[in-house]
């Protein structure tokens, strides 16, 4: 009998958990995470309204050294921030109103190749996973019911070979 093929994605994703206590610290996490990113990476951000997904992305933009401040892309589905240096552009996607998923994403006519970019997607669950085999899944939790609390629990799970030794464990709050 043949041995079953090894799973394409490791069963145990590289996972890092951090506790963040302010918006500034969330941005700083973004700046640090940016140093681990490269062209072709897909980062999926999960978390309820106001969890801090865009705040984290702002830090990613700063760390990547891209043009334009990252803001909530509420009225556009995706915004491209070109690099100010020779790094990859940041493509910031708000998939909230993206119905069809992948096809629509490719139809956005972003004028930039996704494989040459770092793609950060808010609200992308069930919509953009097919873009790449590997992805970094970032989940941000806030304490429910306490609207003044600035504490956030962040879990970073790297799925696929790309993230196996990417250094996620070096990130600190």
Ligand X SMILES: Nc1ncnc2c1ncn2[C@@H]1O[C@H](COP(=O)(O)OP(=O)(O)OP(=O)(O)O)[C@@H](O)[C@H]1O
| Sites of contact with Mg ion (CB under 5 A) | 53-54, 72, 122
Compute the distance between CA of residue 69 and CA of residue 61 in angstroms, rounded to an integer. Answer: 7
Question: Which residue number, 72 or 83, has a Cβ lying nearer to Mg ion?
Answer: 72
Binding flag, residue 20, ligand X (CB under 6 A): yes
- Residue 47 binding: pick among Mg ion, ligand X, none (C-beta 5-8 Å cut-off by kind): ligand X
Does residue 53 belong to the site contacting ligand X (CB under 6 A)? yes
Give CA–CA dist 41/87, Å, rounded: 13
Q: In the structure encoding, which two tokens stand for residue 48, read together? A: 């309820």
Q: Which is nearer to ligand X, 51 or 157 (CB)?
A: 51
Q: Which stretch binds ligand X (CB under 6 A): 16-24, 32-40, 107-115, 157-165?
A: 16-24
Buried b (16+ CB within 10 A) or exposed e, 63-100: bbebeeebeebeeebbbbbebeeebbbbbbbbbeebee
Closer residue to Mg ion in complex, CB, 123/163: 123
| Closest CB 80 distance from ligand X, rounded Å | 18
């Amino acid at each position: 009998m043949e041995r079953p093929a090894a799973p394409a994605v490791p069963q145990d994703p590289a996972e890092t958990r951090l506790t963040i206590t302010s918006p500034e610290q969330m941005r700083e996490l973004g700046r640090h995470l940016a140093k681990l990113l490269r062209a072709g990476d897909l980062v999926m951000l999960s978390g309820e309204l106001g969890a801090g997904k865009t705040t984290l992305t702002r830090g990613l933009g700063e760390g990547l050294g891209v043009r334009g401040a990252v803001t909530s892309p509420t009225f556009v589905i995706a915004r491209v921030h070109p690099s100010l240096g020779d790094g990859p552009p940041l493509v910031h996607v708000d998939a909230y109103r993206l119905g069809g998923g992948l096809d629509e994403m490719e139809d956005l006519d972003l004028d930039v190749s996704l494989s040459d970019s770092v793609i950060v997607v808010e609200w992308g669950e069930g919509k953009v996973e097919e873009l790449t085999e590997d992805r970094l899944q970032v989940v941000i939790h806030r304490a429910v019911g306490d609207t003044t609390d600035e504490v956030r629990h962040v879990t970073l799970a790297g799925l696929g070979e790309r993230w196996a030794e990417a250094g996620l464990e070096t990130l600190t709050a």
